[in-house]
C-alpha cells in the first residue's frame, strides 16, 4: 500500500489570505476614508444559496469589508436583474459585485453576469474576465479556480509540463481552471459528460481537478499513483466529487472536503474585493 497523501489545508491558507485582506482593507479605509464594499445579489431563497451568501457576507464583515445585500424575489425577470446589476455597476460606493449562482432557471444568467462592470467583477464571471484569464492579462480570476491556483502554488506544485486533467467544463469552474493551468504551461485535458472512457484519461493526470458535482464520483481507479488531486466538489452532506478514502492512498497531495477548495474560494473573493476597491479609490 502507498503512503497516505499529504493534505492540502485550504482552511489554514484561506485564514492567512483573509488576514492579509483584512489588513489591506483597514489600511485602505484609513488612507481614503472609504471601506471596500461588496454588493451581493441573490435571486429567490434557495437554502444553499442563502447560506453561501450569508457566509460570504460574514467573512466580509470580519475582514472590514462592507457588504450591501440585494435580495430579489424568485419571480425577478432577467431585465429587472440586469437593471439592478447595472445600477450597482454605476454606483461609486460599490467596489465589487457578486451575483449568486444559480440565479434561477428562467433567468438568462449570462446576460446578468455581463451587466457587472469588469472593474467590479470580483467573482470573475464575465466574458471580459474569462478572456483576460485565458490570455494571461490582468483581471479578476474566477474565484474557485483562482483559489485552486493559490493552493497549488502554496504547496509548490510545479505545473509546467505536467498533465492536468479537469473533469467538468462549467463556465464558473471547469473551463476557467483549465485556462489558468494552461497559462502555467500545464498540458490540459478537459473531460465532461460526453467523454468516453473517463478513467483512462484521469489515470494519466499528474494533476487531477474534480469539478463534476457528483458525490464521490472519482475513485481510486481514476487516480495515477502520486497525482495531485484537487476536489472542488461540494455536494450535500459536505461530500466532495472524489472518494477521499480511496484517493488518499494513491495521491501525493489531496484537498479534503470540507476544508480544501471551499475556503479558498471565499478568500479569493475577499482579496479581489480589496484589489478592486484599491484600484477604484486610486490607492493601489
Q: What is each CA distance from 10 to 15, 51, 222, 256, 281, in whole angstroms?
A: 8, 20, 23, 8, 30
For the CB of residue 18, give the shortest distance to ligand NAP in the complex, in Å: 14
The answer to whether residue 11 forms part of the interface with ligand NAP (CB under 6 A) is no
Can residue 193 be called a binding residue for ligand NAP (CB under 6 A)? yes
Task: Report residue 163: phi and psi, to 5°.
Answer: -90, 115
Instruction: Give the interface size with ligand NAP as a residue count (CB under 6 A).
Output: 26
| Closer by beta carbon to ligand NAP, 29 or else 140 | 140
- Nearest approach, Cβ of residue 29 and ligand NAP (Å): 27
**What does the DSSP 8-state code read for residue 252?**
S
- Site stretch for ligand NAP (CB under 6 A), options 106-114, 148-156, 194-202, 274-282: 194-202
Q: Which residue, 101 or 163, has its beta carbon nearer to ligand NAP?
A: 101
Distance from the Cα of residue 64 to its chain's centroid = 21
Report how far apart the first and last C-alpha atoms of the chain are (Å, whole number).
Answer: 51
72, 82, 182, 198: which one binds ligand NAP (CB under 6 A): 198
Separation between Cα atoms, residue 35 and residue 98, nearest integer Å: 17
Residue 100: active-site member:
yes
Q: CB nearer to ligand NAP: give 85 or 210.
A: 210
Residue 126: DSSP 8-state: S
Nearest distance from C-beta of residue 2 to ligand NAP, angstroms? 25
Location of C-alpha cell 472518494? 243
DSSP 282: T
Minimum distance, C-beta of residue 200 to ligand NAP, in the bound complex (Å): 13
- Angle made by CA atoms 238, 239, 243, in degrees to the nearest 5: 155
CA distance 74 to 71: 9
C-alpha cell at 120: 467590479
Is 56 tagged catalytic? Answer: yes
159 touches ligand NAP by CB under 6 A: no
Residues at the binding site are 168-170
Answer yes or no whether residue 174 interacts with ligand NAP by CB under 6 A. yes
Q: Does 194 bind ligand NAP (CB under 6 A)?
A: yes
Catalytic residue, from 121, 123, 231, 275: name it.
123
- Residue given cell 465589487 in the structure block: 96
- Binding site residues for NADP(+), as ranges? 168-170
Q: How far apart are CA 5 and CA 230, in angstroms?
A: 12
Under the criterion CB under 6 A, does residue 167 sit at the interface with ligand NAP? Answer: yes
Alpha helices, DSSP H only, in the chain?
10-32, 47-62, 78-89, 109-114, 127-135, 143-154, 174-183, 198-202, 244-247, 261-280
**With respect to ligand NAP, which residue has the nearer C-beta, 36 or 168?**
168
Element (H, E) at 191: strand 187-191
CB-nearer residue toward ligand NAP: 186 or 261 = 261
* Residue 144 touches ligand NAP, criterion: CB under 6 A: yes
Looking at residues 66 to 105 of the shown chain, list those that interact with ligand NAP (rule: CB under 6 A): none
Residue numbers of the site for ligand NAP (CB under 6 A)? 144, 167-170, 172-174, 191-195, 198, 211-214, 232-235, 241, 261-262, 265
Q: Which residues are catalytic?
A: 56, 100, 123
Amino acid at each position: 500500500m502507498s503512503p497516505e497523501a499529504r493534505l492540502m489545508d485550504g482552511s489554514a491558507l484561506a485564514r492567512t489570505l483573509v488576514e492579509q485582506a483584512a489588513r489591506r482593507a483597514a489600511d485602505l479605509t484609513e488612507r481614503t476614508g472609504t471601506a471596500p464594499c461588496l454588493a451581493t445579489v441573490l435571486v429567490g431563497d434557495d437554502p444553499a444559496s442563502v447560506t453561501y451568501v450569508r457566509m460570504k457576507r460574514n467573512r466580509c464583515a470580519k475582514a472590514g469589508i462592507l457588504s450591501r445585500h440585494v435580495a430579489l424575489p424568485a419571480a425577478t425577470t432577467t431585465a429587472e436583474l440586469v437593471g439592478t446589476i447595472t445600477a450597482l455597476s454605476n454606483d461609486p460606493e460599490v467596489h465589487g459585485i457578486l451575483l449568486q449562482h444559480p440565479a434561477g432557471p428562467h433567468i438568462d444568467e449570462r446576460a446578468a453576469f455581463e451587466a457587472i462592470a469588469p472593474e467590479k467583477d470580483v467573482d470573475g464571471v464575465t466574458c471580459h474576465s474569462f478572456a483576460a484569464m485565458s490570455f494571461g492579462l490582468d483581471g479578476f480570476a474566477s474565484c474557485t479556480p483562482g483559489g485552486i491556483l493559490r493552493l497549488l502554488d502554496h504547496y509548490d506544485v510545479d505545473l509546467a509540463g505536467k498533465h492536468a486533467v479537469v473533469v467538468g467544463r462549467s463556465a464558473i469552474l471547469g473551463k476557467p481552471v483549465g485556462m489558468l493551468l494552461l497559462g502555467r504551461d500545464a498540458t490540459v485535458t478537459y473531460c465532461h459528460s460526453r467523454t468516453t472512457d473517463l478513467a483512462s484519461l484521469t489515470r494519466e493526470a499528474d494533476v487531477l481537478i474534480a469539478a463534476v458535482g457528483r458525490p464521490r464520483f472519482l475513485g481510486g481507479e481514476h487516480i495515477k499513483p502520486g497525482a495531485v488531486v484537487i476536489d472542488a466538489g461540494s455536494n450535500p452532506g459536505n461530500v466532495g466529487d472524489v472518494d477521499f478514502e480511496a484517493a488518499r492512498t494513491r495521491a501525493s497531495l489531496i484537498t479534503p472536503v470540507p476544508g480544501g477548495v471551499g475556503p479558498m474560494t471565499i478568500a479569493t473573493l475577499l482579496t479581489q474585493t480589496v484589489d478592486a476597491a484599491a484600484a477604484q479609490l486610486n490607492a493601489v
